[in-house]
Amino acid sequence: MTGAQLPDMLPGMLPRLWAFALRLTGDKHDAEDLVQRACVRALERADQLQPGTAALSWMFSIVHSVWINEVRARSVRGRASMEWDDQFVENVADPAGRTPEEEVMHGQIIDAFKRLPEAQRAVMLLVAVEGLSYQETAEAIGVPIGTVMSRLSRARQAIGAHFGANPAARGKASPNAAANSGGSIA
């Protein structure tokens, strides 16, 4: 892929970019603005897209970078407002529908997720939701792969702790407990 092909590819990427931005920002208007700014930046810098680079990973990188800049700017302005918007849950299509128990669990998962630090949330979104590899995630957010693995591990531990999971106790309960549990949410 080259930078010249980017304008033709962007429309196909918009749903995933918007979903990623919505999860980062927690607000649909902020997400729309974020995607728009990221697309403008990408088009302005299309010549910087290296051959062989996955365009979607490159765009996730730009969305993340623009968001981090926005968070820093809000912090400087003293207006940091990153509350989770429950309307996000209402806007996500669920063809199978959920039972009340599933609704409660879904709310608890969102609550645990929103308590994660920004850096861990971004890694969790890219790996667990968007399906990027650790290497692609590292490139997208500009950190070493070890940092991605560390942040993902801490995020998973924090979410597990939110649900009362005790990895040490689980490991003692059965020699095959780790193998049988699946071990992660990604």
Q: Which residues, including other chains, have CB under 8 Å from residue 154's CB and lie 6 or more apart?
A: 120
My answer on whether 10 and 41 are in the same domain is yes
Q: Which residues, including other chains, have CB under 8 Å from residue 47's CB and lie 6 or more apart?
A: 3
Question: Any idea how long the chain is?
Answer: 186
My answer on whether 68 and 16 are in the same domain is yes
End residue of a domain, out of 59, 92, 125:
92
Tell me the two tokens of residue 163.
Answer: 């649900």
What is the average per-residue pLDDT within 176-184? 41
DSSP 83-130: ---THHHHHS--TT---HHHHHHHHHHHHHHHTS-HHHHHHHIIIIIS
User: According to the model, what pLDDT value does residue 178 have?
Assistant: 40
Is residue 169, in this structure, part of any structural domain at all? no
Tell me the two tokens of residue 22.
Answer: 């919505």
Q: Tokens 């902020």, residue?
A: 30
Alpha-carbon distance 107 to 86, whole Å?
Answer: 9
Residue 175 in this model has a pLDDT that exceeds 50: no
CATH, residue 155: 1.10.10.10
Alpha-carbon distance 1 to 61, whole Å?
Answer: 16
Residue 186 in this model has a pLDDT that exceeds 70: no
Is residue 62, in this structure, part of any structural domain at all? yes
CATH, residue 45: 1.10.1740.10
End residue of a domain, out of 71, 92, 113:
92
Q: Where are the alpha helices (DSSP H) in the chain?
A: 6-25, 28-44, 55-77, 87-91, 100-114, 118-124, 134-141, 145-162, 167-173, 177-181
Is residue 171, in this structure, part of any structural domain at all? no
pLDDT digits (tens, 9 = 90+) for 108-156: 888 888 888 988 998 988 988 888 899 989 988 899 999 999 999 999 8
Q: How far, in Å, are 19, 38, 99, 173 from residue 105 at the CA level?
A: 21, 33, 10, 24
Average model confidence (pLDDT) across the chain: 78
Is residue 138, in this structure, part of any structural domain at all? yes
End residue of a domain, out of 38, 57, 92:
92
